[in-house]
Chain A
Amino acid sequence: MERHYMDSKIKGVSTGTTILAVTFNGGVIIGSDSRASMGGNYVCSKTINKLIQVHDRIFCCIAGSLADAQAVTKTAKFQISLHSIQMESPPLVKAAASVMKELCYNNKEELQAGFITAGWDKKKGPQVYTVALGGMLLSLPFTIGGSGSTYIYGYTDAKYKPDMSREECLQFATNALALAMGRDNVSGGVAHLVVITEGGVEHVVIPGDKLPKFHDE
């Protein structure tokens, strides 16, 4: 609710958006729509990338002011990269999420962007963290964000199961995105999904006409 209200106050390009991240047995799936809007009336871009890779197995989904989100993720990517080289090992997802949180919290007056950090690391496996507007960091089995998320809280709360298989999780994420994009005017375009596992990272793109259709479509 809060984010929906805030988005309409964002000057310039915003990602009125739907983003989500869901853990499954062996990995995590993150997804987003691809619409960037200005003022709630004009679509700036139909094909924007909201899934930013900050390290080999760690991605960030962005919501809110696009400029702020890009600035934060660029900085975070640099810091996480340096940290990983100094540690001589891939970074923990928690560490990446903490870096995002520090940036959001310390600059909370100027920034208007929220993130979902998700990925896989050797210590704790697949994880999802949400970094809210003011810099709150929370670890969850799955999370949704952006203006479109308000329309799918019911669906995700009802349909999420822990320890899903990759296919079940992919279907869950696709359905959730389709439902949100169907009702939120500032979410739309194509559905971007990324599957992160120990073995690697796989992108899935579902164009608008191939998204699952529901009863009234």
Chain B
Amino acid sequence: MSSIGTGYDLSASTFSPDGRVFQVEYAMKAVENSSTAIGIRCKDGVVFGVEKLVLSKLYEQGSNKRIFNVDRHVGMAVAGLLADARSLSEVAREEASNFRSNYGHNIPLKHLSERVAMYVHAYTLYSAVRPFGCSFILGSYDQDDGPQLYMVDPSGISYGYWGCAIGKAKQAAKTEIEKLQMKDMTCRELVKEVAKIIYIVHDEVKDKAFELELSWVGEVTNGKHELVPKDVREEAEKYAKDSLEEEDDSDEENM
């Protein structure tokens, strides 16, 4: 596994002899402990899906959202320390708002993700602060630039994607995402696949109940980022549950 950082991991302002900044790596570990979030970009929009683990039956349904609205046309799905993520969503909101105030139009997603990534990176430079313990996926849809998807991690780099996953089951989710032909799909088709992937990667044994948070932005919503409407969500969850049962059945047949 990872080597022990003995002595070189006490602050973000120290390199280890083999050139690593351990504090940043530990921050990424925090993300890996959180439940999965995925974002996929298709022909006419972007869909987010988050596996929100329900730790107590007393929780109000729909609380502790992990998908945020950053601007009318931009959504953000997070994994990692939720408090850190909330603070970053405020940063992103301010960036988008200032941009519109100065330049009169919607902020392009590439620029927004670079600005927020620069902010996240700043916290990896000093010993007085700790890096942010969250990764997040930003998605938007614009008439001219089309759908865009970017991911920012605690080291402060932003990457553009067609599909990405963050959190504990990110490897399994990535495998599932790679099977999809997302460039040819529409949002309506994709929303069902996203629900299915979350259901597949959810570990029934270790984590019990979970709530599926789904949101989208695209032509189907006229460029506005919003949570998926109730009927679409129910259809997607039904599709996901049915697909899982089919796979169970086919497994039994093989035996």
Contact = CB atoms under 8 A, between A and B. Distances in A.
Interface in A86-117: 86-87, 92, 94-95, 97-99, 101-102
A98 B104 contact: yes
B160 interface: no
Contacts of B102: 98-99, 102
Contacts of A101: 104
Nearest to A86: B111
A87 B104 contact: no
A87 B144 CA distance: 15
B96 to A, nearest CB: 14
A94 B111 contact: no
B101 interface: yes
Interface in A177-195: none
Interface residues of B, number: 8
Contacts of A97: 104
Contact of B105 (A86, A95, A102, A137): A95
A83 interface: yes
Contacts of A99: 102-103
A87 B105 contact: no
Contacts of B144: 123
Interface in B188-238: none
B111 A95 contact: no
Interface string B85-107: 00000000000000001111100
B108 interface: yes
B105 A94 contact: yes
A102 B144 CA distance: 25
Interface of B: 101-105, 108, 111, 144
Interface of A: 83, 86-87, 92, 94-95, 97-99, 101-102, 123, 137
